[in-house]
Amino acid sequence: MSEIRILVALAEGFEEIEALAPVDIFRRAGYEVVLAGVNGMEIRGTHDIIVKCDKRIEDVGVEFDAMVIPGGGLGSKNLAASWEVNEKMLLIANNGAVLGSICAAPAVVLGPAGMLEGHKAVCFPGAESNYPGFEFGTERVCVDGNLITARAAGCAIEFALAIVEKLSGSEKANSLAKRILFNR
């Protein structure tokens, strides 16, 4: 198993593709991925897929190379409302780790937590109203230092590969993309 560790936080109403496609890519990269549930170990996604988490969010530490915050309207709101998610996110990011967020989550979770200040970011079209005053971009995936954001479920693989590239370099990301026939 890789020495690279990634925390993926899940709350009821998460967007399945935005969480599970990256988890799949990260595991193909050989990373250790910890799925952490908010308010339980079995978390129901927005399309009624139930995911069994590895741990509860309050039971994980902050020794991660990256943390991923998936979107989904209700999922993002539930993540933002979790003190534990906000605490882990701030501590992990402040340790220099990569912070990845997709869909509504950049505007609903990262913005109010102060994680977008001084950065460029993207979010799901229309979710910008959750964090007024911030000018979100329109590209599919935005990489700004250790902050990586993406617009929607259709960007999930591209988003995950951008995180792999940040953590392990373009050769590894391109190799993974080639293996799954994804054009980068």
Range of the domain at 166: 5-179
The CATH number assigned to the domain holding 44 equals 3.40.50.880
Q: Give residue 52's pLDDT.
A: 98
The type of residue at 29 is A
By DSSP bridging, strand 141-144 and strand 147-150 are antiparallel
Q: Give residue 75's pLDDT.
A: 97
Position 143 in a domain: yes
Q: Specify the pTM.
A: 0.97
Position 114 in a domain: yes
Q: Tens of pLDDT along 55-79?
A: 999 999 999 999 999 999 999 999 9
Number of domain units in the chain: 1
Q: Tens of pLDDT along 115-172?
A: 999 999 999 999 999 999 999 999 999 999 999 999 999 999 999 999 999 999 999 9
Q: What is the mean pLDDT of the chain?
A: 97
- Bridge partners for 44 per DSSP: 50
Residue 184 reports pLDDT greater than 90: no
Position 131 in a domain: yes
Position 184 in a domain: no
**What size, in residues, is the chain?**
184
**Residues 53, 32, 144, CA angle at the centre, nearest 5°?**
100
Q: Are 52 and 41 in contact (CB under 8 A)?
A: yes
Position 157 in a domain: yes
The CA-based dihedral angle spanning residues 128, 118, 21, 91, taken in that order and rounded to the nearest 10 degrees: -120
Q: Give residue 2's pLDDT.
A: 61
Burial label for 126, CB within 10 Å (0-12, 13-18, 19+), is exposed
How far apart (Å, rounded) are the C-alpha atoms in residues 130 and 124? 11
Average pLDDT over residues 99-108: 98
* Phi, psi angle pair for 95, to nearest 5°: -80, 0
Q: Which of 101, 100, 108, 99 lies closest to 134 in space, CA to CA?
A: 108
